[in-house]
Amino acid sequence: MSWGVRAHIWSRCDSRYLRLLKSYRAINKVHIVYLGHNNGLNASLTTGLHLQLLSRVFTKPDEARDAILYSYSYGFSGFAAVLNSTQAAKLSEAEEVISVFRSRMLEIHTTRSWDFMGLNLHIQMEQSARMQLNFGDNIIVGILDTGVWPESQSFRDDSHLGDIPSSWRGTCVAGEEFDPATACNRKLIGARYYIAGFESEVGPLNTSGGAEYRSPRDRVGHGTHTASTAAGAVSPNASYVGGLGRGVARGGAPWARLAVYKVCWFKDLTGRCSDADILAAFDDALRDGVHVVSASLGSTPPLMPLFMTSTEIGSFHAMQLGVPAVFSAGNDGPDASMVQNVSPWGITVAASTIDRRFPTVITLGNNVSLVGESFNVNDTRRILVDSNTVFADGSCSFDQLTNGSRTAASGKIVLCFSTMGMVSSGSAALAVYAAGGAGVIFADTISRRSTQDNFLPTVHVDLRQGTLILDYIRGSSRPPTVHISQSRTLVGKTPAPAVAYFSSRGPSSISPNILKVHHILIFEREFHGENGGVL
């Protein structure tokens, strides 16, 4: 047989193998099999029972062992395994099984916030409650998110901290760019990561060139943000670039200890979190001895039944052990019934405004001045263009870029309107960046306007201001220009608090008869861009 014929046969075999592999992945999915309480059984015995149950739907014991991803055996009983629909249906009929459901991919939802709430570190002893003065001393907060950046000042050893609480049973695991000897201390006392569910759903993790880290190290930044907001150490004289928002950065409980559980991974420019991994983190966190669990993640409606989601199962059993679980409401407001974490045994937190703004003066080429909001640290003078000259339909979206977009936008400030189809300033900035633009003026309704730190300089204005700018562009007899001044910090001049427009609202879409108060956390989303969700 010639080498050419052999190569042809191998090529056909490879193609057939790839088709079979894709077919297998399409049929076999990660499922959660939930069994309820573990009835006080030890972990090894519980895991053995899980394998025994799983073996009922496989012909060989080794197949069951290969299929299982996690065995949940401390706070509750259950397991995650790769199953086809027939196997999942058969397991759901077992008397000891409460529910079987597909593991889904969930998404991840500063210096003045706590002072604005009245939690001031420097108030007099007699003016404050004992709990407030302790500021979380010896409380262990478990954060389920995208990991942590241990070099941050928010996670350093603090002189106020004593020994690690004797109740702590967790660990700090090693991984890529994460050395427990230097990363963990008396503040950041624990760090773990969970990836089996994620890789079973989307394939091997991409770690090339720092695209992600197979470790507790944070690639996205969201986990570092939520951990520091909850329990970050006191960091005096902190500010945004250029001195904006200068003050003392700290968490709400600056003397609390942190245990980080990385369950969300960088995918499609955000953090994606597998139900299977989230449940594994809940199980470990309860075993490790955390006192509070915080998870800023969720999935948009339609919602699953309460005992068919990782967050609701994990928080239910945490509640039984006296561990409160705190969730974000979501960033899908302002429409009703978009709240994502709705269990009556969990605490759900909405987002709110504070009394701080960052006014930014815009001066047009005709000497008309307007005041928007931005995080602009440098004076900028540029040519100004309307989005209709850059995008086919003027919507400032990727799919409307044309062959002439780069020429039209290169080095210029682009005026975009949310009402033309792009409701997110972050997405508009990304599209303008792709076109070669130097910045964005983003016009939105007054009720929706929210200053964000996009990677491309962005000034936020209301629709009236945006219309004035558009009229100037269209009526100018010479190339229109704009001068964007450096932003300033203004405190105490804005009525607050108010629920932020983007915060998800109730009532629950699966249990509207359960009246639940959604607590409001005042925080500074504008420093954290599109995914700066609530605690």
Check pLDDT > 60 for residue 226. yes
> Would you say 329 and 348 are in contact if contact means Cβ atoms under 8 Å apart?
yes
Task: Give CA separation, 442 vs 14, 200, 456, 464, 481, in Å.
Answer: 51, 40, 12, 12, 16
Beta strands in 330-387 (DSSP E): 347-352, 356-357, 359-364, 369-373, 380-386
Check pLDDT > 90 for residue 187. yes
Q: What would the CATH number be for the domain defined by 29-102?
A: 3.30.70.80
Beta carbons within 10 angstroms of residue 268's beta carbon: 9
Residue 12 pLDDT class (50, 70, 90 cuts): very low
Q: Which residues contact 167 (CB under 8 A, 6 or more apart)?
A: 140, 289
pTM: 0.78
pLDDT in tens, 98-130: 999 999 999 887 444 444 444 454 444 344 434
Q: What would the CATH number be for the domain defined by 107-354+498-520?
A: 3.40.50.200
Tell me the C-alpha distance between 9 and 268, whole Å: 37
Closest by CA position to 255, among listed 366, 185, 159, 148: 159
Name which of 35-39, 44-48, 130-134, 263-267 the model is least confident about.
130-134
Kindly state the average pLDDT of the residues 37-60.
92
Q: Which residues contact 134 (CB under 8 A, 6 or more apart)?
A: 255
Check pLDDT > 60 for residue 158. yes
**DSSP notation for 243-286:** GTT-EEE--SSTTSEEEEEE-EEEETTEEEEEHHHHHHHHHHHH
Q: What would the CATH number be for the domain defined by 359-488?
A: 3.50.30.30
Q: Residue holding tokens 């001044």?
A: 485
Which tokens hold the place of 516? Answer: 């639940």
> Would you say 318 and 292 are in contact if contact means Cβ atoms under 8 Å apart?
no
pLDDT averaged over every residue in the chain: 83
258 phi, psi to nearest 5 deg: -120, 135
Tell me the C-alpha distance between 459 and 465, whole Å: 11
For position 329, what pLDDT does the model report?
A: 82
Beta carbons within 10 angstroms of residue 18's beta carbon: 10
Which tokens hold the place of 225? Answer: 């943000």
Q: Which residues contact 348 (CB under 8 A, 6 or more apart)?
A: 326, 327, 328, 329, 339, 341, 342, 516, 518, 519
Q: Is the bond into 457 cis (omega within 30 degrees of 0)?
A: no
pLDDT in tens, 245-286: 677 777 888 889 999 999 999 998 789 999 999 999 999 999
Closest by CA position to 244, among listed 359, 167, 147: 359
How many residues appear in the chain? Answer: 535
Percent of the chain clearing pLDDT 70 (strictly above): 80
For position 98, what pLDDT does the model report?
A: 96
pLDDT in tens, 472-513: 999 999 999 999 998 887 776 666 566 766 777 778 878 777
pLDDT in tens, 325-346: 999 888 777 777 788 888 889 8
For position 450, what pLDDT does the model report?
A: 67
Q: Residue ranges per domain, the chain?
A: 29-102, 107-354+498-520, 359-488
For position 133, what pLDDT does the model report?
A: 43
Residue 371 or residue 352, greater confidence: 371
